[in-house]
A and B are shown apart, each in its own frame.
Chain A
Amino acid sequence: MGDIINNLISTWQNYSHLFIQGLGITLVLSLISVAAGCVFGFLMMLLRRSRLSIFSFRPLSFIAGVYIEVIRGTPMLLQLYFFYFLLPEIITFVELSKFTCCVVALCVNSVAYTSEIFRSGIQAVDKGQTEAARSLGLSSTQTMIHVVLPQAVKNVLPALCNEFITMIKETSLASTFFIGDLMSVYRTVSGILFLTIEPLIIVGIIYFIVTFFLSKGVMFLEKKLTVS
């Protein structure tokens, strides 16, 4: 037991810069994928909700639906492998880094989840609001922009923050490809020191502290939003 504590302390003292750097990469990865989720997830949600139809078949909505279901129905690790192997096959004119492939996979994953966050956030706005706006003569777009979306933000914002927290944990899967995130750092340090438990505990504590305080922040945000 005393050994472990001593090892913990010395591991942190010698390699803290690596852990911090790994955390940085993890945060950047999560931020990029959630940011992509915000932009493309919103567009995906619009596709999902599009009423464009050919004989009561809605092609755009269907395609978006398939995309969302496939991504949500398969493991993130599988998606990472898929893009890791697929992208270099398709894109041959530039050399893609492992990091890029993982970022793409994480974004593709995040878009599916965030689009559902947007969709449920919009759905949660009382239907009466839309009816009232439409009855005043507002078009569906005007209703969306001026009445529904401002109210949906309240539902969406905390859920997006939670998605960010989830991504912080999920990106650890990308360490399979050794892209420098926090979990990759664990593997590096563990390899140098021939220690398994101690660096794992350190990494675990870092993940926990970050996600714990972020989720406390989200709870605070949620409370603030329900008051206003």
Chain B
Amino acid sequence: MEQKKAFDNIKDGDEIIRVEGLEKSFGSLHVLKGIDQVIKKGEVISVIGSSGGGKSTFLRCLNLLETPEKGKIYFEGVDITAKNVDINLHRQKMGMVFQHFNVFPNMTVESNITLAPTLLGKKTKAEARDMAAELLKRVGLYEKKDAYPQQLSGGQKQRLAIVRALAMEPDVMLFDEPTSALDPEMVGEVLVVIKELVKTGMTTVIVTHEMGFAKEISDRVLFMDGGIIVEEGTPEEIFEHPENERTKEFLSKVLY
């Protein structure tokens, strides 16, 4: 009950995620070396940086797909790293889209979308189907609703993955390199969907290598390297006037 109340009070511009002193290692590899970050409702944040810099791990820590070793993560006012927290409840409010789509191959397009909302008691079967239809129309996949993922292209799979996450009516969307595994000609169709989503005011954190896209949609850009956020700022600050040497070096090497 208390958690619900905390969420209801959050307005645009209020803090929705707070990360304090986040650290994570894989074996002897220290991937995150202390991240502090406040994400506000409605904000669109891009995380850029070279591979191995900890971007994906940072994102995956936000919904505890990776368990942090140190530090705290508050989501809608609740410390989700605390021991007695039911993380499944909070994950319902955090949609995630993966590099490799991870759509369920054994289910139809429609069932991919309706599974979680019906199973978790958010919607009846009929309501979930209606919503799936509406979401599929939004991303141009309605004709495919009875198809299986195997029959879809990469871009279509990723659009499906996006609406599958949206069907839970999340408060935040996390994108983990959503276009990295796509054929070049399919990148556009997925970016369009994300752009549309961002326009609706969805709080979004996106790890991406699409610099042009990051520049266009973000309110704030984080440049990560060596397990820390080296520099952050508006797209203009980061892309036009980077101050840190590592940021400059990284941006000089990528084409966009």
Report if A123 contacts B (CB, 8 A).
no
Q: Does A120 lie at the interface of the complex (its beta carbon under 8 Å from any beta carbon of B)?
A: no
**Distance of B177 from chain A, by nearest CB (Å):** 13
Rounded to whole angstroms, the CA-CA distance of A133 and B111 in the bound complex is 13
Does the CB pair B100–A128 fall under 8 Å? yes
CA distance A65 to B89 in the complex (A): 33
Q: Is the CB of A135 within 8 A of B65?
A: yes
Which of A131, A132, A138, A151 touches B106 (beta carbons < 8 Å)? A151
User: Contacting A138 at CB < 8 Å: which of B96, B105, B120, B165?
Assistant: B120
Query: Could you tell me the distance between the alpha carbons of A98 and B202 in the complex, rounded to whole angstroms?
Result: 70
Q: Does B94 contact A (CB under 8 A)?
A: yes
Give the B interface residue count (CB, 8 A): 25
Instruction: Determine if A135 and B165 form an interchain contact, defined as CB atoms under 8 angstroms apart.
Output: yes
Does A137 lie within 8 Å of B168, measured CB to CB? Answer: yes
Among A6-14, A139-147, A171-179, the one that faces the other chain is A139-147
Let me know if A192 is at the binding interface, CB within 8 A: no
Chain A contacts for B92, CB-based, 8 A:
136-137
| Beta-carbon contact of A129 and B115 below 8 Å | no
Q: Are B116 and A138 touching (Cβ within 8 A)? A: yes
Q: How far is the CA of A150 from the CA of B111 in the complex (A)?
A: 14
Distance (whole angstroms) from the CB of B89 to the closest CB of chain A: 7
Q: Is the CB of A142 within 8 A of B91?
A: no
Taking a contact as CB atoms under 8 Å apart, the answer to whether B119 and A146 are in contact is yes
How far is it, in angstroms, between the C-alpha of A154 and the C-alpha of B96 when the chains are bound?
27
Most chain B CB within a 10 A radius of its CB, from A137, A146, A150: A137
Instruction: Name the B residues within 8 Å of A137 (CB-CB).
Output: 88-89, 91-92, 116, 120, 168
Nearest Cβ on chain A to B42's Cβ, whole angstroms: 21
Query: Which B residues between 33 and 57 are near A, CB-CB below 8 angstroms?
Result: none
Instruction: Give Cα distance in the complex from A126 to B103, angstroms.
Output: 11
Complex interface: chain B residues within 8 A of A126 (CB):
100, 102
Complex interface: chain A residues within 8 A of B96 (CB): 131-132, 135
Q: CA of A146 to CA of B104 in the docked complex: distance in angstroms?
A: 10
Q: Any chain A CB within 8 A of the CB of B98?
A: yes
The residue from A134, A135, A142, A147 contacting B104, defined by CB atoms under 8 A apart: A147
Nearest chain A residue, comparing its CB with the CB of B92: A137
CA distance A42 to B106 in the complex (A): 22
The answer to whether B88 touches A132, judged by C-beta atoms less than 8 angstroms apart, is: no
Residues on B with C-beta less than 8 A from A138 are 88, 116, 119-120
Where the two chains meet, the residues of A that have a C-beta atom closer than 8 Å to any C-beta of B are 126, 128-129, 131-139, 142, 146-147, 150-151
**CB-CB nearest 5 A-B residue pairs:** A137-B92, A132-B102, A128-B102, A135-B96, A136-B116
Q: List 6 A-B contacts (CB under 8 A).
A: A126-B102, A132-B96, A134-B91, A135-B91, A136-B91, A137-B120
